[in-house]
Amino acid sequence: MQMQDVFHDFESDLKRAGEYMETYLQSEVTLIPEIVHHLIGSGGKRFRPLLLLASAELCGYQGERRYPLAAVIEFIHTATLFHDDVVDHAETRRGRISANRIWGNEASVLIGDFLYSKSFKLMTEDGSLDILKLISKTTNMMSEGEVFQLMKAGDAGTTEEDYLSIVEKKTSILISAACAIGAILADADEKSIDALSRFGMGLGTAFQITDDALDYVGKEEEFGKAIGQDIRDGKMTMPLIRTLKNCTPEEKNILENGVKHRDADSAAEIMKLINRYDGIQYSLQRAKEGIEEAKGVLSFFPESRAKEALFAIADYVVARRM
Q: Secondary structure of the chain in the HEC alphabet? A: CCHHHHHHHCHHHHHHHHHHHHHHCCCCCCHHHHHHHHHHCCCCCCHHHHHHHHHHHHCCCCCCCHHHHHHHHHHHHHHHHHHHHHHCCCCEECCEECHHHHHCHHHHHHHHHHHHHHHHHHHHHHCCHHHHHHHHHHHHHHHHHHHHHHHHCCCCCCCHHHHHHHHHHHHHHHHHHHHHHHHHHCCCCHHHHHHHHHHHHHHHHHHHHHHHHHHHHCCHHHHCCCCCHHHHCCCCCHHHHHHHHHCCHHHHHHHHHHHHCCCHHHHHHHHHHHHHCCHHHHHHHHHHHHHHHHHHHCCCCCCCHHHHHHHHHHHHHCCCCC
How far is the C-alpha of 302 from the C-alpha of 299, rounded, in Å?
A: 8
Domains plus CATH for the chain?
Answer: 3-317 (1.10.600.10)
Beta-carbon-side half-sphere exposure of residue 274 (alpha carbons within 13 Å): 30
Other C-beta atoms lying within 10 Å of the C-beta of residue 8: 11
List per-block mean pLDDT (blocks of 10 residues) for the chain, which spans 322 residues.
92 95 92 90 80 98 97 96 89 84 94 96 96 97 94 89 96 98 97 98 96 74 54 83 93 84 72 90 95 96 97 92 49
Count Cβ atoms below 10 Å from residue 27 Cβ, excluding itself: 13
Distance of alpha carbon 268 from alpha carbon 293, whole angstroms: 34
pLDDT at position 154: 82
Nearest to 42 by CA among 115, 91, 97: 97
- Determine the pLDDT at residue 187: 97
- What is the Cα 18 distance to its own chain's centre? 19
The string over 150-162, giving b where at least 16 C-beta atoms fall within 10 Å of a residue's C-beta and e elsewhere, is eebbeebebeeeb
Which pLDDT value is given to residue 88? Answer: 83
- Bridge partner residues of 169 (DSSP): none
Predicted local confidence at residue 322, as pLDDT? 43
Which pLDDT score is estimated for 223?
Answer: 45
- Angle at CA of residue 122, ends 120 and 128, nearest 5°: 85
- Which of 165, 313, 131, 174 lies closest to 236 in space, CA to CA? 165
Calpha distance 285→232 (Å, rounded): 25
Closest CA to 48 of 81, 93, 96: 81
Instruction: Measure Cα distances from 160 to 19, 25, 219 in Å.
Output: 41, 39, 25
**Per-residue model confidence (pLDDT) at position 321:** 55
What residues does 143 pair with on adjacent strands? none
